[in-house]
C-alpha cells in the first residue's frame, strides 16, 4: 500500500477570504509581525499499488473529485509505503 498527500490551494488570482480573515484576527491579537496567512487543504490517500496504478489513481481522483479547477490548483507527493 502506498500513501500520497494531495495539496489543494487557491489559484493566486483567487481571493482567499478565510486567509484574510485569519490574518486580521492574528493582528487583532497583537501579532503585528504577521504579513499574510493563506489557507489550503490536503488529502492523505492510502491506495493499494499491486497493479502499479496508484499514482495514476491519485491524479485521476484529484481531477475528478478533489479539485475545483475554476478556483484551485493542486500538487501531490508520495508520503510513504507500507
Between the alpha carbon of residue 61 and those of residues 4, 19, 54, 66, 67, the distances in Å are: 12, 26, 10, 6, 9
Q: x/- contact string, 2-41, with a copy of itself (CB under 8 A)?
A: -----x-----------x--x--xx--x-x-xxxxxxxxx
Of 41, 50, 47, 51, the residue nearest 78 (C-alpha)? 47
Q: How many residues bind a copy of itself (CB under 8 A)?
A: 35
Contact between 63 and a copy of itself per CB under 8 A: no
Q: Nearest approach, Cβ of 9 to a copy of itself (angstroms)?
A: 8
Q: Which residues bind a copy of itself (CB under 8 A)?
A: 1, 7, 19, 22, 25-26, 29, 31, 33-51, 53-54, 57, 60-61, 64-66
Amino acid at each position: 500500500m502506498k500513501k500520497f498527500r494531495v495539496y489543494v490551494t487557491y489559484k493566486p488570482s483567487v481571493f482567499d477570504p478565510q486567509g484574510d480573515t485569519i490574518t486580521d484576527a492574528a493582528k487583532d491579537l497583537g501579532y503585528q509581525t504577521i504579513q499574510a496567512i493563506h489557507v489550503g487543504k490536503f488529502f492523505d490517500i492510502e491506495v493499494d499499488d499491486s497493479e502499479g496504478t496508484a499514482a495514476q489513481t491519485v491524479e485521476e481522483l484529484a481531477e475528478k473529485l478533489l479539485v475545483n479547477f475554476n478556483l484551485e490548483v493542486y500538487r501531490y507527493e508520495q508520503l510513504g509505503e507500507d
